[in-house]
């Protein structure tokens, strides 16, 4: 059973490496595919809940080293994201709630952040073949940027938020 799980994981990793980035990318300017997934608290969260707000949608797993690297870049600009009223939705595409809780531990998120557990909806809707994936979804729920599996630096995230956040920064949020 353990060997089978490892083989499946290795095959998945191999497919992520061998799949061209263009297969994974969602066309910029198209509506973001909707989803309704459970948070770690068991609450149903829909992408539509954030209409009117800029969303950074991160599709990742707990075991992916570059996913951890992207998380560090996002956390580095967390205060800026909060100031700009940007929400980060991190969808874990292959992990159980227990795995995600262990992965997140007691990390303090400086921005508005929700960890969601994919039940297959996001994986299918966003054609996830490469991870991590980060999409910038504007206030009208239109995809404005898709990394297609590439990683971004903190300064790139700041530039993207400034470019696509048409909403005024939040004032006086705790």
CB count in 10 Å sphere of residue 72: 10
- 91-95-96 Cα angle (round to 5): 110
Q: pLDDT digit string (tens) for 127-146? A: 888 889 999 999 999 999 99
Q: pLDDT digit string (tens) for 68-121? A: 999 999 999 999 999 999 999 999 998 999 999 999 988 888 889 999 999 999
pTM: 0.81
Q: pLDDT digit string (tens) for 19-54? A: 444 444 578 899 999 999 999 999 999 999 999 999
Distance CA 147, CA 131 (A): 9
What distance lies between CA 65 and its chain's CA centroid? Answer: 15
Integer CA distances (angstroms), 158 to 79, 128, 153, in order: 11, 24, 9
DSSP states along 122-150: HHHHTT--SSSEEEEE-TTSBEEEE-TT-
What's residue 23's pLDDT? 45
Q: Domains (ranges, CATH) in the chain?
A: 21-164 (3.40.30.10)
Look at residue 5 and tell me whether its pLDDT is greater than 80.
no
90 or 4, greater pLDDT: 90
Distance CA 17, CA 2 (A): 23
């Amino acid at each position: 059973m353990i060997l089978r799980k490892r083989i499946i994981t290795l095959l998945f990793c191999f497919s992520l490496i061998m799949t061209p980035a263009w297969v994974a990318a969602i066309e910029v300017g198209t509506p973001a595919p909707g989803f309704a997934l459970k948070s770690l608290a068991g609450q149903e969260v829909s992408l539509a809940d954030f209409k009117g707000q800029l969303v950074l949608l991160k599709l990742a797993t707990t075991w992916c080293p570059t996913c951890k690297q992207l998380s560090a870049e996002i956390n580095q600009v967390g205060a800026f994201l909060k100031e700009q009223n940007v929400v980060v939705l991190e969808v874990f595409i292959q992990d159980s709630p227990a795995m995600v809780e262990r992965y997140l531990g007691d990390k303090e998120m400086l921005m508005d952040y929700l960890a969601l557990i994919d039940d297959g909806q996001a994986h299918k809707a966003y054609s996830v073949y490469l991870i991590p994936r980060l999409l910038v979804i504007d206030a009208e729920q239109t995809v404005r940027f898709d990394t297609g599996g590439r990683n971004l630096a903190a300064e790139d995230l700041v530039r993207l938020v400034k470019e696509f956040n048409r909403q005024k920064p939040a004032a006086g949020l705790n």
